[in-house]
Structure formats: C-alpha cells, structure tokens
Amino acid sequence: MPHSHIRRLDRVWVRDPLFFLTVCTAKRRIVLANPSAAAALIEEWSAAKERHGWHIGAYVIMPDHVHFFAEPDVGAKELSVFIGKWKEWTAKKLLGLKVAPASPVWQPEFFDHVLRSEESCAEKWEYVKANPVRAGLVKTAAEWPYWGHIHFA
C-alpha cells in the first residue's frame, strides 16, 4: 500500500480559525430566498456572538442552502453545537412564519472548511458571491438581495 505512513490527522489546530460553512435545506426545498426567511436567518446569525460565542462574517442565502463565514471567540461553543442550535432556532422561526412547509427544515449534516489564508478566504467569497449568477437567478452578484455580513466583512 503506497504512502501507508501518511494518515489524516484526527484534529487540526489552527490559531484563530475562520470557517467556511454550507448548510442545506432538507430535500433541498426552495424556502430560503425570500424576505421573511432571510430576516429569520440574519436575526439568528446576529445573535450567534452573544448566544454561542461565534462571529458571523459574510453570507449568501440561496433558495435551498446558505453559505457563510464564521469564527469562534475564546470559550465559544463547539462548531457542531453552534450549528445545531442555529438550525434549531431558524427552523422554529421558518416553520412559525410558514415559510418552510414541514419539519425537518435542514439536512442533518453541514459542510465546514477551515480557511488557512487570506487568499483562500477571498477565493471562497468570490465563489459564494457568484453563486446566484451561476444559478441563473440574477445577471450580476450585486443584484442578489440575500447577501451581506453580520459581525465582520
């Protein structure tokens, strides 16, 4: 077996990590790209610092998923706990607003990637910002109304 001496690390420690996160709706339901849903998501991202110790940066809300950047404060809850609580509270709001048709609102898993450089962050943001254009929803990224930033750009 070639490269048997190389193995994946169980944990990677990065000082001041910045995460790129993607969370998808259950069954990829198209329920997010509307003013009510966007307001509910933004409200919970805005509360993340106080409730969970997580700072939220730039985000893009697509019809069936969200992309956002987040970084933990000292003493922040674990990423999986934070995302679990964010999903729980946003699901309650989306169901209460009758934006989402049924529970579960979110897929059980989420995608996370630790960004290790300024270049990596800029590349991810350019990719995310262009998502609505690639999906044929708008002609330019600036036309998409469901993007912004919360605690940092």
Q: Can you tell me the mean pLDDT for 116-131?
A: 88
**Which neighbouring-strand residues pair with 22?**
67, 111
d(CA 109, CA 124): 20
d(CA 99, CA 33): 10
Percent of the chain with pLDDT over 70: 90
What 3-state class would DSSP assign to 132? helix
CB 45 within 8 A of CB 21: no
The string of DSSP letters for 41-75 reads HHHHHHHHHHHHSEEEEEEEE-SSEEEEEEEEPTT
pLDDT at 7 over 60: no
State the pLDDT at residue 10: 52
State the pLDDT at residue 99: 85
CB 125 within 8 A of CB 118: no
CB 95 within 8 A of CB 88: no
To the nearest whole number, what is the mean pLDDT of the chain? 90
State the pLDDT at residue 9: 45
pLDDT tens digits for range 32-89: 999 999 999 999 999 999 999 999 999 999 999 999 999 999 999 999 999 999 999 9
Answering whether pTM is above 0.75, one says: yes
d(CA 24, CA 107): 6
CB 130 within 8 A of CB 30: no
Architecture of the domain made up of 18-149: 2-Layer Sandwich (3.30)
In terms of pLDDT, which residue wins out, 16 or 9? 16
Burial class, 65, CB count within 10 angstroms (exposed 0-12 / middle 13-18 / buried 19+): buried
| Domain boundaries defined on the chain | 18-149
